[in-house]
């Protein structure tokens, strides 16, 4: 309200200033009288002029006393002196004449205005669009990029590792290509299909593949492009997007990062127009989804990696009817994805995709594409004829551990600590059953703060783990600290990350998985917070158990960590000679493969682990 008052005051002051200028102009024009040049000469002879100003084409003068009409100043056009004397002999009234130059006068006004308009249209407007402000004439227009079927250049053949999602989306393709046959039993296509999954799993690629497979136009827009600083602009863009889609039906409308637009509505205690703009845009999207008929041939696809913060109204039946999970691929899926990307590079004969897939558990499709590209770059850098398995291994190491930093100088004592620390992980992993196979051990610094690393390769994808396997995993993590204590009888900061991971596993075993006999089959996990609008709000107390129970949880976690340390120390004590000899070899070669490590026996049984 205060801002509006200030604006009104400024308008009032500008109006007063304009009125004053108009009055001055009117009074100046009323006090000046235009006269013929002959009359000017009469006034001059009669000594009635006080002063004059002479220009090239006219004369302005001030009279000693005002005329009968009240004018105190005069104006006349100049005439050549010789001609004036000749005309005066014959008592002829004469004055100057200005030739009409209408076109020149008009151009003198039009050209500057045209130049200014050109600058505004082609310079200022483009600068504003580059800065993200957009043009004034297109502020309510949709920013969706339109790809025709030949422009997407993606089909289902280019998508691998997500067979279930492809099967679900195949129905959308069938509807778009043959709507009559698909709906012969009365079935209708879902109004909206929501692709949900972690970043990099191929949600956008899948949406483009649907358009390419169906051969229909593809409208692609990001959820954040609907939101502007002006309230109502986002809603106008939603309307414009759906209007364009209806005109080009059948087509696909794809909204990426839907959470930027569809975040749960709520009260924003900080106020401001941003929340109002988002809510109005979301309301318009909900209205459009209710208003369009799927039989028109418009299919709405959207993608998000944060479905938990979406507004419930978006997910109800009749809007996004179908939700498709696009998860990280399993080993078979990773192999299929690698084969798709490896077609674009020259691969050596000794580079089986299944082995690379085994080294990349938890990697997404984007990660795998990056690995293939990194391996090709490394092969090119060494002037190789093809991309080999060693290039892929180095590419994986670079992505997992970071860039090699051989130039980093490490004092001999610290280098020795790092060697024993990494071998502590490797020896415990090779001795205990149910742990991942050790692929490589290195003491070459990588990334930020990583002085060495141990890479383990799982033999298969795992979705469940037993308590014994989790305990073995903690023992492997504590192997580095146990080796430092055993050999040097001192602690270092190198085990900080290992302690974090081991403590996290132990805390989950106690508070989430119910794997502690003392606390029983009860979950004590802390409650998570939820989003209300743009604010992260706690859903309840972070702790719903007594202080005595909290004390027992702390003791149980500490007990699991100490037991893991003791088990790791027992393995290393049993194989101390092999540990010392392998450490000397690692210090010499800096990197050892899994085949160069000795075969160890577990102190808990006679079983060997290759």
What are the boundaries of each domain within the chain? 102-138, 145-325, 331-401, 412-609
Residue 489 half-sphere exposure toward CB, CA atoms < 13 A: 0
Q: Which residues contact 591 (CB under 8 A, 6 or more apart)?
A: 440, 441, 442, 443, 444
State the CATH architecture for 145-325.
3-Layer(aba) Sandwich (3.40)
222 or 378: whose pLDDT is higher?
Answer: 378
Determine contact, residues 165/206, Cβ cutoff 8 Å: yes
Q: How far apart are CA 579 and CA 420, in angstroms?
A: 8
Q: Is the pLDDT of residue 137 over 50?
A: no
What pLDDT, in 10s, does the model give residues 12-48?
Answer: 666 666 665 655 555 555 566 778 877 877 777 777 7
For residue 534, what pLDDT band results from cuts at 50, 70 and 90?
Answer: very low
For residue 267, what pLDDT band results from cuts at 50, 70 and 90?
Answer: very low
> Within 10 A of 602 (CB to CB), how many other CB atoms are there?
19
Please state, for a pLDDT cut of 90, what percent of the chain lies above it. Answer: 18
For 258-282, give one letter per residue: b (16+ CB within 10 A) or e: bbbbbbbbeebeeeeeebebbbbbb
Report the CATH number of the 412-609 domain. 1.20.58.760
Domain 331-401 has CATH 1.10.8.60: yes
| pLDDT at site 178 | 74
Average pLDDT, whole number, for the chain? 77
| pLDDT at site 228 | 63
| pLDDT at site 532 | 36
Q: How far apart are CA 333 and CA 356, in angstroms?
A: 12
| pLDDT at site 405 | 67
Sequential DSSP letters for 53-84: EE-SSEEEEEESS--TT---EEEEE---HHHH
By mean pLDDT, which of 110-119, 406-415, 485-494 is the weakest?
A: 110-119
Please state, for a pLDDT cut of 70, what percent of the chain lies above it. Answer: 70
Report, as an integer, the average pLDDT of 260-266.
78
Q: Is the pLDDT of residue 354 over 90?
A: no
**For residue 210, what are its two tokens?**
């649907």
Parallel, antiparallel, or unpaired for β 529-532 and 535-538? antiparallel
| pLDDT at site 271 | 44
Q: Which residues contact 610 (CB under 8 A, 6 or more apart)?
A: 599
Give the rounded distance of the alpha carbon of 528 from its chain centre: 25
For residue 96, what pLDDT band results from cuts at 50, 70 and 90?
Answer: low
> Within 10 A of 76 (CB to CB), how many other CB atoms are there?
22
335 or 600: whose pLDDT is higher?
Answer: 335
Most confident of 386-390, 401-405, 536-540: 386-390
By mean pLDDT, which of 292-301, 380-389, 527-536 is the weakest?
A: 527-536
> Which helix (H) or strand (E) is 33 found in, with range?
strand 32-34
Active site residue 422: yes
By mean pLDDT, which of 138-147, 236-245, 528-537, 569-578 is the weakest?
A: 528-537
By mean pLDDT, which of 63-72, 468-477, 498-507, 525-534 is the weakest?
A: 525-534
Sequential DSSP letters for 373-426: HHHHHHHHHTT-SSB-HHHHHHHHHHHHH--B-TT----HHHHHHHHHHHHHHH
For residue 263, what pLDDT band results from cuts at 50, 70 and 90?
Answer: confident
Quote the Cα angle for 158-163-165, to 5°. Answer: 95
By mean pLDDT, which of 40-44, 151-155, 355-359, 580-584 is the weakest?
A: 151-155
Quote the Cα angle for 320-324-326, to 5°. Answer: 140
By mean pLDDT, which of 89-93, 409-413, 430-434, 471-475 is the weakest?
A: 89-93
Predicted TM-score (pTM) above 0.75? no
Residue 367: closest CA among 408, 329, 405, 394: 329
| pLDDT at site 133 | 46
What pLDDT, in 10s, does the model give residues 467-503?
Answer: 999 999 999 999 999 999 999 999 998 899 999 999 9
Residue 198: closest CA among 54, 366, 431: 366
> Which helix (H) or strand (E) is 554 found in, with range?
helix 547-574
Find the Cα–Cα–Cα–Cα dihedral 349, 355, 357, 362, rounded to 10°: -150
Quote the Cα angle for 318-319-322, to 5°. Answer: 90
Which three-class secondary structure state does DSSP give residue 515? coil
| pLDDT at site 82 | 61
Q: How far apart are CA 562 and CA 184, in angstroms?
A: 66
By mean pLDDT, which of 2-6, 12-16, 78-82, 111-115 is the weakest?
A: 2-6
Q: Is 412-609 the same fold as 145-325?
A: no
Given the residues 228, 374, 397, 422, the one annotated as active site: 422
Q: Is the pLDDT of residue 3 over 50?
A: no
Residue 450, phi then psi, degrees to nearest 5: -85, 105
Which three-class secondary structure state does DSSP give residue 434? coil
| pLDDT at site 603 | 60
By mean pLDDT, which of 92-96, 257-261, 389-393 is the weakest?
A: 92-96
| pLDDT at site 464 | 86
For residue 409, what pLDDT band results from cuts at 50, 70 and 90?
Answer: low
Determine contact, residues 132/143, Cβ cutoff 8 Å: no
> Within 10 A of 127 (CB to CB), how many other CB atoms are there?
10
| pLDDT at site 229 | 56
Most confident of 75-89, 266-280, 534-548: 75-89
**Cα-only R_g, the chain:** 41
């Amino acid at each position: 309200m205060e801002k509006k008052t200030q604006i009104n005051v400024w308008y009032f002051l500008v109006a007063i200033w304009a009125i004053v200028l108009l009055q001055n102009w009117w009074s100046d024009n009323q006090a000046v009288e235009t006269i013929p040049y002959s009359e000017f000469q009469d006034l001059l002879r009669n000594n009635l002029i006080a002063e004059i100003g002479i220009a090239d084409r006219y004369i302005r003068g001030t009279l000693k006393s005002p005329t009968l009409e009240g004018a105190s100043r005069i104006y006349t056009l100049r005439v050549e002196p010789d001609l004036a004397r000749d005309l005066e002999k014959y008592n002829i009234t004469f004055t100057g004449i200005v030739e009409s130059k209408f076109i020149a006068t008009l151009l003198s006004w039009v050209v500057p205005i045209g130049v200014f308009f050109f600058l505004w249209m082609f310079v200022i407007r483009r600068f504003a669009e580059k800065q993200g402000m957009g043009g004034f004439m297109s502020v309510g227009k949709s920013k969706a990029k339109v790809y025709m079927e030949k422009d997407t250049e993606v089909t289902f053949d280019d998508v691998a590792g997500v067979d279930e999602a492809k099967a679900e989306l195949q129905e959308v393709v069938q509807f778009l290509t043959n709507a009559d046959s698909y709906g012969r039993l009365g079935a209708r296509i879902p109004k909206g299909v929501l692709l949900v999954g972690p970043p990099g799993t191929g949600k956008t690629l899948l949406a483009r593949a649907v358009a390419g497979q169906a051969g229909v136009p593809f409208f692609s827009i990001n959820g954040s492009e609907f939101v502007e600083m002006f309230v109502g602009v986002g809603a106008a863009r939603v309307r414009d997007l759906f209007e364009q889609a209806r005109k080009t039906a059948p087509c696909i409308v794809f909204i990426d990062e839907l959470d930027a637009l569809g975040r749960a509505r709520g009260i924003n205690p900080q106020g401001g127009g941003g929340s109002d703009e988002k809510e109005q845009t979301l309301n318009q999207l909900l209205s459009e989804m209710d208003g369009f008929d799927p039989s028109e041939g418009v299919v709405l696809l959207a993608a998000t990696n944060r479905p938990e913060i979406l507004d419930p109204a978006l997910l109800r039946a009749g809007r996004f009817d179908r939700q498709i999970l696009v998860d990280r691929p399993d080993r078979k899926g990773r192999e299929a994805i690698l084969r798709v990307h490896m077609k674009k590079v020259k691969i050596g004969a000794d580079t089986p995709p299944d082995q690379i897939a085994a080294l990349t558990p938890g990697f997404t499709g984007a990660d795998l594409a990056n690995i293939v590209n990194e391996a090709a770059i490394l092969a090119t850098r060494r002037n190789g004829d093809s991309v080999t398995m060693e290039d892929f291994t180095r590419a994986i190491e670079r992505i997992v551990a970071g860039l090699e930093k051989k130039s980093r100088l490490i004092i001999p004592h610290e280098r020795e600590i790092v060697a024993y620390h990494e071998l502590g992980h490797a020896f415990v992993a090779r001795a205990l059953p149910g742990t991942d196979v050790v692929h490589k051990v290195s003491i070459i610094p990588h990334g930020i703060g990583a002085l060495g690393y141990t890479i383990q390769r799982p033999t298969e994808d795992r979705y469940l783990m037993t308590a014994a396997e989790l305990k073995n995993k903690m023992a492997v993590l504590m192997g580095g600290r146990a080796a430092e204590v055993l050999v040097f009888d001192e602690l270092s900061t190198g085990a900080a990350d290992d302690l974090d991971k081991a403590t996290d596993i132990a805390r989950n075993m106690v508070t989430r998985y119910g794997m502690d006999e003392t606390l029983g089959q009860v979950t004590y996990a802390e409650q998570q917070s939820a989003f209300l609008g743009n604010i992260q709000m706690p859903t309840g107390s972070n702790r719903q158990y007594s202080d005595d129970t909290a004390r027992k949880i702390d003791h149980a976690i500490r007990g699991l960590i100490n037991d893991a340390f003791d088990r790791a120390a027992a393995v290393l004590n049993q194989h101390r000679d092999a540990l010392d000899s392998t450490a000397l070899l690692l210090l010499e070669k800096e990197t050892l493969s899994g085949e160069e490590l000795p075969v160890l026996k577990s102190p808990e049984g006679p079983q060997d682990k290759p």
